[in-house]
Amino acid sequence: MSPSAPRAAFPACALFDLDGTLLDSAPDMLATVNRMLAARGRAPRALADIRPVVSRGARAMASVAFPELDAEGIAALVPEFLAVYAEELGRHGAPFEGIEPMLAALEAAGTRWGIVTNKPEYLAARLLPQLGWQDRCAVLVGGDTLAERKPHPLPLLHAAEAIGVAPGDCVYVGDDARDIAAARAAGMPSVVALWGYRLEEDDPIAWQGDVMHDAPDALAVPRGWPAP
């Protein structure tokens, strides 16, 4: 879907979700889940089982792996999940195809970009050097950086302030309903990343983002971004 009023230049600031938007981290998550299952003598899960819920966090992935557990049992697995995931971090996943050329196009145009994720900040920060993004990403906000996390607008507002750009001059790109809700509440235009992780019953149209795209390369040109 193209913007109703194509823009002639990239936005001043582009903010991105991480898992499912910039990074295809599902393989790392699968390795984590399967290590936990193997430790209990249980059969591994397939990537197709885990992939749809990656953007929903450790609890959602643990729930897929251990469907017999109640909410309390799943919560008890989260520390183990994070510890194992820290060892698998960046070993299997990679940026989605088209992400690097898109980021390069933004940088060439003078657009500053950053990451606002619900992943714990220490894990997201460890990924940046592995991806070669540590000197390119202008701001990183994790799920535990502030008192609130997405869908609350505070992380996006904080990121815009850190970069020195008004929220309305930023665009937020994400693959989950929480991403688009956070952008709306922050007064930022938004892009729905349809290449990311979704459940079959999800309806991205209902999220009411400003633009939807099937692939990152649509954002490698100014007209792919929502008009201010």
Feature table: binding site for Mg(2+):
17, 19, 175
The residue type at 196: G
- Tell me how crowded residue 154 is: count the other CB atoms within 10 A of its CB: 18
Question: For residue 127, how many other CB atoms are within 10 A of its CB?
Answer: 23
The reply to whether 70 belongs to the active site is no
Catalytic, out of 17, 24, 176, 210? 17
Q: At what angle do helices 71-88 and 121-131 cross, to 10 degrees?
A: 30
Strands 23-24 and 13-16: unpaired
Instruction: Select from 177, 211, 207 the least CA-distant residue to 191.
Output: 211
Which residues does residue 171 pair with via DSSP β-bridges, in sequence order?
Answer: 14
Per the CB < 8 A criterion, the answer to whether 150 and 177 are in contact is no
Can you say which residues are annotated as belonging to the binding site? Answer: 17, 19, 175
Active-site positions? 17
